[in-house]
Amino acid sequence: MDKNTEIWRQYYDKALSRPHSKRTEFAVRLNESNLKVATDCGCGTGSDIE
């Protein structure tokens, strides 16, 4: 495995263990329509937005 691949693997391993953002949870709770909707904060796990 090359160095770049290893760096990305380590990044994704950390990202998978991070909890979701409280802002994302809040946004999901705002939907009271009983319709299924997708909430996309645009950055994977949201770990890079704060």
The confidence score (pLDDT) of residue 5 equals: 95
Contacts of 8 (CB under 8 A, 6+ apart): none
Tokens of 41: 């904060």
* Within-domain flag for 48: no
* Within-domain flag for 42: no
* Within-domain flag for 47: no
* Within-domain flag for 18: yes
* Within-domain flag for 9: yes
* Within-domain flag for 26: yes
Specify the higher pLDDT residue, 19 or 49. Answer: 19
* Within-domain flag for 37: no
What domain range is 13 assigned to?
1-31
Single pTM value for the model: 0.47
Largest CA distance in the chain: 48
The 10s digit of each residue's pLDDT in 10-48 is 988 888 888 777 888 888 899 899 898 887 766 655 555
Q: How far apart are CA 49 and CA 4, in angstroms?
A: 23
Total domain count for the chain?
Answer: 1
The confidence score (pLDDT) of residue 7 equals: 94
